[in-house]
Structure 1
Amino acid sequence: MTDYETIVYVERESVARLMVTALRAHGFSPREILDGGLPGIGTGLTGKGLAIAVPASEARDAQPLAEALLKDMVGK
């Protein structure tokens, strides 16, 4: 069983799905964003946002890329 590590949180589901696709395009194996939850709640119930997680062995390399992508995607 693979251990996953959260590398970044995003506020919107659409951004999370783009992040997963972009990470896959760069050779990483992010966990799929599951459908579900409550309509209109884009940040999940934790208040942090939707977690983007990759296998722990990939986290060190994937996190800087995810942070740079997030900055480009949402202007943060």
Structure 2
Amino acid sequence: MAMDSFETILTHHDPDILRVIIVALKAHGFHPHEGGSSGLPGLTTPNGAGIMVPKAEAGDARILAGALLEEMSNQ
């Protein structure tokens, strides 16, 4: 799938939080893009790293990712 068919649904500075959200998205049937926005696995840009999903999934995936991030932030 071409990168222009993906949309960033969440950006965060903590790669551990992003990994948990990616696993949860996959468990719920979403298809997050593998690999970081820096192009190097495990490295993030100064703005953090993003989670990208196919545009057709972006609306629902954004809701789930936001709810998960909020829940993890309240722990």
TM-score (norm 1): 0.77
Measured in 2, the distance between the counterparts of 1:20 and 1:32 equals 9
Extract unaligned runs of 5+ from structure 2.
none
Measured in 1, the distance between the counterparts of 2:9 and 2:42 equals 21
**Percent identity of paired positions between Structure 1 and Structure 2:** 41
Structure 1 runs, 4 residues or longer, greater than 3 Å off: none
* Structure 2 match to 1:61: 60
The structural deviation recorded for 1:7 is 0.5
The structural deviation recorded for 1:36 is 4.2
Measured in 1, the distance between the counterparts of 2:73 and 2:31 equals 22
Number of residue pairs matched by the alignment: 68
* Structure 2 match to 1:45: 45
* Structure 2 match to 1:11: 13
Extract unaligned runs of 5+ from structure 1.
38-43
TM-score (norm 2): 0.78
Query: Structure 1 or 2: larger helix share?
Result: 2
